[in-house]
Chains A and B, each alone.
Chain A
Amino acid sequence: MERKIRVLVAKPGLDGHDRGAKVIARSLRDAGMEVIYTGLRQTPEQIVSAAIQEDVDVIAMSILSGAHNHLFPRVVELLKEQGVDDVLVFGGGVIPEEDIPFLKSKGIAEVFGPGTPTSKTIDFIKANLKRALA
């Protein structure tokens, strides 16, 4: 039997807008995944340490403050420093389209903007997992 996909939904930075993060967390849970939500104001260090401790397959980050160019790449860097290369990392929030190529070049697999249906995020996770589920 396949095990469940494990996801860490994380809010890096200081912004308190987590309607999106919570809706995503709940929709992933309803889609049969195991979901951990970090709560607000997580540093990249805290996110990576939670991801390793919870042994997740996916880190889904949400940010609306504009600090994405600083905080998203830092999470990927820290994962690499810890020797973790099989976790799918992506993000969403209010992120200008022109920032997306930069974020992708830093290892953020995808960036979802406002209005993205949760089904699209679910499909994306299933199609891009880096670890086997069997």
Chain B
Amino acid sequence: MADNEKLEQDFGAWNAKVEKANEKYPERKKQFVTGSNAPVNRVYTPLDQRGFEYQTQLGLPGEFPYTRGVQPTMYRGRFWTMRQYAGFGTAEESNARYKYLLEQGQTGLSVAFDLPTQIGYDSDHPLSEGEVGKVGVAIDSLADMEVLFDGIPLDKVSTSMTINAPAAVLLAMYIAVAEKQGVAPDALNGTIQNDILKEYIARGTYIFPPSPSMRLITDIFEYCSKQVPSWNTISISGYHIREAGSTAVQEVAFTLADGIAYVEAAIKAGLGVDDFAPRLSFFFNAHNDLFEEVAKFRAARRVWAHLMRDRFGAKNPKSWMLRFHTQTGGSTLTAQQPDNNIIRVTLQALAAVLGGTQSLHTNSRDEALALPTEEAVRIALRTQQIIAYESGSAETVDPLAGSYYVESLTDRIEKEVIAYIKRIDDLGGAVKAIEQGYVQQEIQDSAYSWQMDVEKSERIIVGLNKFQVRESAPKGLLRVDPEVGARQKQKLASLKSKRDAQAVENALGSLRAAARSSDNLMVPILDAVRVYATLGEICGVLREEFGEYKPNVMF
């Protein structure tokens, strides 16, 4: 360590010199911090990496602990999946948008459902009034799903569906559409979000209380491990936790804590860890602090690999790998000077790529104002393509490894994430911590302090609290046709008059019986979907049997 001793001396002398100069020519700020308010030193050197062990902390790409990535060749093999989250209006309109995106070179689909669908109400439910087709596509029954994927071969695309509380129903519909296309379930590729815990924490589209919700999730794990083996049965999501205002550390910590809760629930339900863990996937955010975000992804992989191998005793390396989708940060976009958002998205997308994401959604510049237009979505997709084909970032694996700064950030995030997980374990696990409001309160505190920093201009947002201009109202925003609700209601009424009412009644009866037993719910849900029972009817039976979640409201 003679080298370090010499460096330590040199560093001390250098620091004294710089501090002295600093008195006369002070730095821009007294304290420098990351996007998540963690302190940043003036410079990082080997002194920050004392005790660093390459083999144990980083290892090689595709090998434990996967700090450098889950595949040996990463993007030299193939680029990440470019997957834009899309859906609005009716199934017909969304089908047209999907075909457009595939023509533009997108490589996977990502379905946005409207809020009634996400909460298990049909389009004719009183609470659906005004919401049908607004933030995603309206799906009431298999008939809508058939239209949504019309002309899209389900054995050729991978489809991600942002659906949580009623995930089992939408997955069943997808399987049923595939059957009609002649595609067997074991040929299907895709993901359902299916992450109820972060709905309680941050996203809000819950239906049932925790215990039956966890049962639905483990039923899906079990069913898919046998019938739909290539399907990602859950996408454990930090995205919405971050959007709700958390720091980067909290995003990873609360997501992995949720992951632990799902693994424990599945083991408790009798599944073997290596039977389901390889199909767990994750979903993270990418904000503007490039280096901190890259470090976040690397730290997340390392912590999860250790958890799965050491805490849960998983033997299959696929169970150790944290594979994730990334979406750029919606909450970082400004309604002011919206074209600037293109640059923010570029930085965030670059962070995701340098951090080794498996798939990526880039937000569109107009998303602080409305759903994106086709033109705005194209620029967002082009941003990914420019990073992939022109920036050189995809040509070698984990290019920032070995940076004193990035490795220091990675180590710090890892340490703080482990400390949070310990705290949540002490509270009795993620479900208990959520029921007590601990997780929500931590996030709200971060969100509030962020807002106050912005208002005091301690944090600068270009175009918002500095470099403002007078602007006229933006033109040409996407508007969802206000007649969607009426059209969807009409379709639903016509479906109900045409289908086999007796078959629907029988199927819903079997579902109710299964809900009262411990049978796997996927089977009766699939049977109900096939005879065109609606989403609202299926969720209605489950609401009656399971009750509804009542959140603990606080701020």
A residues touching B (Cβ–Cβ < 8 Å)? 9, 13-19, 21-23, 25-27, 29, 35, 37-41, 43, 65-67, 69-71, 94, 96-98, 113-115, 117-119
**Pick the contact of A39 from B205, B335, B474, B551 — CB < 8 Å?**
B551
Task: Tell me whether A38 and B448 are in contact in the complex, defined as CB-CB below 8 angstroms, given that A14-B131, A17-B204 are known contacts.
Answer: no
- Asked if residues B134 and A65 are in contact (CB atoms below 8 Å), the reply is yes
The residues of A that contact B427 with a CB separation of less than 8 Å are: none
- Rounded to whole angstroms, the CA-CA distance of A22 and B441 in the bound complex is 11
Nearest 4 CB-CB pairings of A with B: A16-B204, A70-B130, A67-B130, A14-B115
Known: A9-B555, A94-B368. 4 other contacts (CB 8 A): A16-B199, A26-B448, A96-B370, A118-B455
- Rounded to whole angstroms, the CA-CA distance of A27 and B450 in the bound complex is 12
- Asked if residues B369 and A94 are in contact (CB atoms below 8 Å), the reply is yes
Output the least CB separation between B325 and chain A (Å): 20
Closest chain A residue, CB of each to CB of B367: A94
Task: Tell me whether A15 and B135 are in contact in the complex, defined as CB-CB below 8 angstroms, given that A65-B115, A70-B129 are known contacts.
Answer: yes
Chain B contact residue count (CB 8 A cutoff): 45
- Rounded to whole angstroms, the CA-CA distance of A19 and B477 in the bound complex is 24
Closest chain B residue, CB of each to CB of A68: B130
Closest chain A residue, CB of each to CB of B463: A115
- Rounded to whole angstroms, the CA-CA distance of A114 and B335 in the bound complex is 6
A9, A21, A66 — which one has the most chain B CB atoms within 10 A of its CB?
A66
Q: List 25 A-B contacts (CB under 8 A).
A: A13-B115, A13-B131, A14-B127, A17-B203, A17-B204, A17-B243, A19-B331, A23-B448, A26-B444, A27-B448, A35-B555, A37-B553, A43-B126, A43-B127, A65-B131, A65-B135, A66-B370, A66-B480, A67-B131, A67-B134, A96-B370, A114-B335, A115-B335, A115-B464, A119-B455
Output the least CB separation between A51 and chain B (Å): 16
Closest chain B residue, CB of each to CB of A99: B479
The residues of A that contact B474 with a CB separation of less than 8 Å are: 97
Interface residues of B in 361-401 (CB under 8 A from A): 368-371
- Rounded to whole angstroms, the CA-CA distance of A5 and B33 in the bound complex is 37
- Asked if residues B473 and A40 are in contact (CB atoms below 8 Å), the reply is no
- Rounded to whole angstroms, the CA-CA distance of A117 and B368 in the bound complex is 16
- Rounded to whole angstroms, the CA-CA distance of A109 and B474 in the bound complex is 22
The residues of B that contact A69 with a CB separation of less than 8 Å are: 130
Output the least CB separation between A122 and chain B (Å): 11
Interface status of B84 (Cβ within 8 A of chain A): no
- Rounded to whole angstroms, the CA-CA distance of A69 and B464 in the bound complex is 26
- Rounded to whole angstroms, the CA-CA distance of A15 and B119 in the bound complex is 10
The residues of A that contact B273 with a CB separation of less than 8 Å are: none
Interface status of B185 (Cβ within 8 A of chain A): no
Interface status of B410 (Cβ within 8 A of chain A): no
Residues 109-145 of B, flagged 1 when their CB comes within 8 A of A and 0 if not, give 0000001101100000011111100110000000000
- Rounded to whole angstroms, the CA-CA distance of A17 and B203 in the bound complex is 6
B135, B245, B331, B554 — which one has the most chain A CB atoms within 10 A of its CB?
B135
A9, A14, A39, A114 — which one has the most chain B CB atoms within 10 A of its CB?
A14
- Asked if residues B115 and A15 are in contact (CB atoms below 8 Å), the reply is yes
Output the least CB separation between A106 and chain B (Å): 14
- Rounded to whole angstroms, the CA-CA distance of A119 and B477 in the bound complex is 29
Interface status of B184 (Cβ within 8 A of chain A): no
- Rounded to whole angstroms, the CA-CA distance of A40 and B477 in the bound complex is 27
The residues of A that contact B127 with a CB separation of less than 8 Å are: 14, 41, 43
Task: Tell me whether A19 and B245 are in contact in the complex, defined as CB-CB below 8 angstroms, given that A94-B370, A114-B334 are known contacts.
Answer: yes
Residues 447-488 of B, flagged 1 when their CB comes within 8 A of A and 0 if not, give 110010011000001001000000001100101100000000
The residues of A that contact B554 with a CB separation of less than 8 Å are: 37
- Asked if residues B334 and A115 are in contact (CB atoms below 8 Å), the reply is yes
The residues of A that contact B244 with a CB separation of less than 8 Å are: 19
The residues of A that contact B454 with a CB separation of less than 8 Å are: 117
Interface status of B359 (Cβ within 8 A of chain A): no
Interface status of B346 (Cβ within 8 A of chain A): no
- Rounded to whole angstroms, the CA-CA distance of A15 and B204 in the bound complex is 7
- Rounded to whole angstroms, the CA-CA distance of A71 and B454 in the bound complex is 30
- Asked if residues B553 and A66 are in contact (CB atoms below 8 Å), the reply is no
Output the least CB separation between B120 and chain A (Å): 11
Closest chain B residue, CB of each to CB of A39: B553
- Asked if residues A118 and B130 are in contact (CB atoms below 8 Å), the reply is no
**Pick the contact of B455 from A19, A41, A117 — CB < 8 Å?**
A117
- Rounded to whole angstroms, the CA-CA distance of A41 and B245 in the bound complex is 20
Task: Tell me whether A98 and B473 are in contact in the complex, defined as CB-CB below 8 angstroms, given that A113-B335, A115-B334 are known contacts.
Answer: yes
B204, B454, B551 — which one has the most chain A CB atoms within 10 A of its CB?
B204
Interface status of B336 (Cβ within 8 A of chain A): yes
- Asked if residues B555 and A22 are in contact (CB atoms below 8 Å), the reply is yes
Closest chain A residue, CB of each to CB of B485: A70
The residues of A that contact B115 with a CB separation of less than 8 Å are: 13-15, 65
- Asked if residues B464 and A16 are in contact (CB atoms below 8 Å), the reply is no
Output the least CB separation between B433 and chain A (Å): 18
Output the least CB separation between B163 and chain A (Å): 14
Closest chain A residue, CB of each to CB of B128: A14
Residues 232-247 of B, flagged 1 when their CB comes within 8 A of A and 0 if not, give 0000000000011100
The residues of B that contact A18 with a CB separation of less than 8 Å are: 204
Interface residues of B in 161-213 (CB under 8 A from A): 199, 202-205
The residues of A that contact B551 with a CB separation of less than 8 Å are: 39-40
The residues of A that contact B130 with a CB separation of less than 8 Å are: 13, 67, 69-71
The residues of B that contact A19 with a CB separation of less than 8 Å are: 243-245, 331, 447
The residues of B that contact A94 with a CB separation of less than 8 Å are: 368-370
Interface residues of B in 81-98 (CB under 8 A from A): none
- Rounded to whole angstroms, the CA-CA distance of A70 and B127 in the bound complex is 12
Output the least CB separation between B139 and chain A (Å): 15
Closest chain A residue, CB of each to CB of B444: A22
- Rounded to whole angstroms, the CA-CA distance of A35 and B243 in the bound complex is 24
Output the least CB separation between B453 and chain A (Å): 12
- Asked if residues A23 and B368 are in contact (CB atoms below 8 Å), the reply is no
- Rounded to whole angstroms, the CA-CA distance of A12 and B85 in the bound complex is 25
